Structure 1
Amino acid sequence: MIEKSQLSSDVETIALGQKIALHCQNYLNTHDDTIVIYLQGELGAGKTTFSRGFLQALGHKGNVKSPTYTLVEPYDFDDFSVYHFDLYRLVDPEELEFMGIRDYLSTRCICLIEWPQQADDMLPAADIEIQLLYRQLEREAIIRPLTEKGVNIMLSS
């Protein structure tokens, strides 16, 4: 069940983030679980723009910046949290242990993880992978649920 979307603007990238966020929220309404989403794509492909739409759909007011230098930016909502990771500048995957990665993943939350390949095998497998690609003047998003949970999330409405 691979979904592809053409994104001709930041507005459409934000809308995609909002759509996926609502699927995740619906899933969390009936499950006490952690959702892991990998965001793949080159620099400037729209990963943080997607994350902005995702967080706004859940009710976040204010800026959404890429946590490039802090590695993680937490967002707390009424009954769950979202952790936005940007691992681009991760020097050594062991840094994730020092920052307490397991603590982030042991709560009822959604983890949006940019540049997951920088972490080697230190991260759990993704439930959903979203790949953002440049296609001439547009972007293309390829959304792949990778686990049964990921499929259930994408089917929840």
Structure 2
Amino acid sequence: MNKQHVLQQIIETLKVDLDVATRAAQTAYETATHEENIAENKYDTLGLEASYLAAGQARRVEEIRHSLVLYQKLVLEPYDEQRGIQSGDLITLESAHGVQQHLFLGPDAAGLKVRHEHILITVITAKAPLGQNLIGKFDGDELEISVNGARQSFEITQIL
């Protein structure tokens, strides 16, 4: 795997998400401000509901725009065997059952998923419990996390 290519895929996915969210926000705004949606009485809430939707969509656009800027400015460094895992690293974990997970530890956009070389990679951040546990760990280290109340253990099998 090439983490520079993974970073580019994250940026491209965020650009597509931004475009979709921008169009959705514009549609919600147009609905909220359309003259047919002016309330005729106190029970007519279509315009109010549309304005709430428009505000939420606008916030989502700003969140994606912020994430995109962070990833566009992200400088990837090679994995440092002295410092352990840091932001910008591409990590492979293996569960006790042999199931692998591929993670990109990024500055934002947690939960975003991209495919690279037919491998699904999930973006996580250091704000999440798993991300916090990974910071400073090394290849071969084991870690335990609680997932839905159940303890799961993983081994770090690759860091790029």
Q: Shorter-normalised TM-score: what interval?
A: under 0.3
Question: Rg larger in 1 or in 2?
Answer: 2
- Larger RCO, structures 1/2 (Cα 8 Å, 6+ apart): 1
TM, length-normalised to structure 2: 0.24
TM, length-normalised to structure 1: 0.24
